[in-house]
Amino acid sequence: MSLAAGAAETEPDARPLLIAGALLILLAFVLLIVGLVRAYMGRKKADEAAAAHFEVQIRTFWLGALYTAVPVGLAALMWTREAAELVAWIAWVSVDAWFVMRCIKGLECLHRQEPYPNPRTWLW
């Protein structure tokens, strides 16, 4: 009997959780792409205020991809696994915080019926 076989007997089956997680990630990716396409389509017909919000949504997608790709590339070049995990963790937390701040600021502006103040910004 191998160690893995013995562990499988005492551990609960994680496959349902793994499948659920993979499906949620796939759903999030599909929704991101749908939102991006919708923002591109809506920007052309929108008034100035709405066009600014659509531009922020589009830029949030592309800047988020950039802000994620750069640290992932750096992590791939790291010599140790621990360093790569640290870089990836810091990038994940930073990009998520940046994303949430941009969304909240956009929602606040929409609630006040104002255009996004600086849709071309790289920050928030």
pLDDT at 123: 85
**Which pLDDT value is given to residue 38?**
95
Residue 1: per-residue pLDDT: 46
Residue 119 carries which DSSP code? Answer: T
CA of 81: how far to CAs of 62, 88, 91, 94, in Å? 28, 10, 15, 20
Q: Furthest-apart CA pair in the chain: how many Å? A: 69
Q: Consecutive sets of 10 residues in the chain, 124 residues long: mean pLDDT of each?
A: 53 87 94 95 92 94 92 82 86 92 94 91 84
State how far the Cα of 56 lies from the Cα of 103, in Å rounded to an integer: 9
CB atoms within 10 A of CB 118: 11
40 contacts 25 by C-beta, under 8 angstroms:
no
Beta strands in the chain (DSSP E): none
Predicted local confidence at residue 8, as pLDDT: 52
